[in-house]
Amino acid sequence: MREGEVIARLRRFATAPAARGLLDDAAVIDGLVLTHDTIAEGVHFFPFDPPASVGWKLVAVNLSDLAAKGATPTAALLSLTISGDGDWEVAFLSGIEAACESYGLPLIGGDTIALPEGAPRVLGLTAIGRAGATVPNRSGGKAGDALWIVGTLGDSAEGLSQLRANRNATGPLVDVFRRPVPLLAAGQAIAPHAEAMMDVSDGLLIDCLRLAQASGCAAEIDMDALPLSTAFIAERGDHLDARLFAATGGDDYALLAALPPKLDPVTLSLPPGTRIARVGVLSAGEPSIRLTSGGLTIELPEILGHEHRSSSLPPVGDRD
């Protein structure tokens, strides 16, 4: 069973206005933005990853959802599974603590259960944020809106690739995979102006298609415009295959925003050093995604990004 099929079934009874039709990564109720993410051993992190980095990542991926809504972190609930002698959990909680302190996120409760011996760890966090005056969703995009990426693409996927090849790999790209940085301040600056916004967690192409579907628009992505880091280019190069890898790898936690065509987000109060690039446009038509390079349409890759499914679920080391 695919993730999309599960969500379609849930829509039959998740009909409260706060659910926003389950077209988004967060719910909005009484001025609060709520999101929940789960990470699992063998799916989102390696068994040999430092436990503190796993804790950091769990907080960061939730805060990335709040960033896409322009929300201010307010509180969190932790779902913790424990096993073994407890050393792993102590280090994991140090990572949770460090991330919560870094982003001003108070931990106010949660739940703890013990796992059977040998069971993979599955960890969850609910993050709650204070909504701003505008909370953009995925479904507000309009024909003519420009598509912008805040952040860079492909770094985490390349870090994952390096760890697959060598579990002792180190460097900036491995750091991005293990300790993503949620773009909270940038999200808060852009949200009041965005027609639609979401974070890029499963890969730009699949996430952009989801935004297009929710907004009832067609999307066009200029592959030549994708923002790539110097570290990524040094490892993968700057050719089309490298850019397709970056656009489908996932775990980026960049922001994808549909902005009015006359708005130049560079004029907004973005944090110093923010990387932002115009990568495409929404247009009238059946929800779809089209890729261009050098002004020509190119074929879509067979896999647009990561989608969970119940059968043949690939381990984290095989996701690319």
Q: What is the pLDDT of residue 17?
A: 80
Q: What is the pLDDT of residue 318?
A: 42
Q: What angle do CA 225, 187, 142 make, to 5 degrees?
A: 65
Is 318 part of a structural domain of the chain? no
Is 57 part of a structural domain of the chain? yes
Is 46 part of a structural domain of the chain? yes
Is 204 part of a structural domain of the chain? yes
Whether 161 and 293 map to the same domain: the answer is yes
pLDDT value at 315 more than 60: no
Whether 113 and 151 map to the same domain: the answer is no
Whether 126 and 169 map to the same domain: the answer is no
The per-residue pLDDT for range 179-203, each reduced to its tens digit, is 999 999 999 999 999 999 999 999 9
pLDDT value at 303 more than 60: yes
Number of domains in the chain: 2
pLDDT value at 320 more than 50: no
Is 135 part of a structural domain of the chain? no
Last residue of a domain, one of 77, 99, 130: 130
Is 185 part of a structural domain of the chain? yes
The per-residue pLDDT for range 57-105, each reduced to its tens digit, is 999 999 999 999 999 999 999 999 998 888 999 999 999 999 999 999 9
Pick from 16, 18, 7, 107: which is nearest to 55 by CA?
A: 107
Whether 188 and 216 map to the same domain: the answer is yes
Question: How much is the pTM?
Answer: 0.91
pLDDT value at 22 more than 70: no
Helix (H) or strand (E) holding 52: helix 51-68
Whether 65 and 154 map to the same domain: the answer is no
Average pLDDT over residues 48-56: 97
Average pLDDT over residues 271-300: 97
Biggest CA pair distance of the chain: 58
Q: What is the CATH number of the domain that holds 188?
A: 3.90.650.10
Q: What is the pLDDT of residue 309?
A: 58
Q: What is the CATH number of the domain that holds 24?
A: 3.30.1330.10
Cβ atoms of 73 and 104 within 8 Å: the answer is yes
Q: What is the pLDDT of residue 25?
A: 81
Whether 183 and 259 map to the same domain: the answer is yes
Whether 302 and 172 map to the same domain: the answer is yes
Last residue of a domain, one of 130, 160, 179: 130
Is 136 part of a structural domain of the chain? no
pLDDT value at 20 more than 90: no
Minimum mean pLDDT among 19-33, 133-147, 293-307: which range?
19-33
3 state SS of 168:
coil
Whether 198 and 171 map to the same domain: the answer is yes
Q: What is the pLDDT of residue 159?
A: 97
3 state SS of 296:
strand
Which amino acid is located at 255 in the chain? L
Burial of 104 (0-12, 13-18, 19+ CB in 10 A): exposed
Q: Determine how many CB atoms are found less than 10 A away from the CB of residue 101.
A: 10
Whether 32 and 178 map to the same domain: the answer is no
CA distance 160 to 97: 24
Residue pointed to by tokens 């999101």: 35
Q: What is the pLDDT of residue 85?
A: 87
Q: What is the pLDDT of residue 31?
A: 95
Q: Which residues contact 318 (CB under 8 A, 6 or more apart)?
A: 164
Whether 170 and 196 map to the same domain: the answer is yes
Whether 168 and 106 map to the same domain: the answer is no
Is 36 part of a structural domain of the chain? yes
Whether 181 and 301 map to the same domain: the answer is yes
Q: Which residues contact 267 (CB under 8 A, 6 or more apart)?
A: none
Residue 239 belongs to domain spanning: 146-312
Q: Determine how many CB atoms are found less than 10 A away from the CB of residue 144.
A: 15
Last residue of a domain, one of 85, 100, 130: 130
pLDDT band of 317, cuts 50, 70, 90 = very low
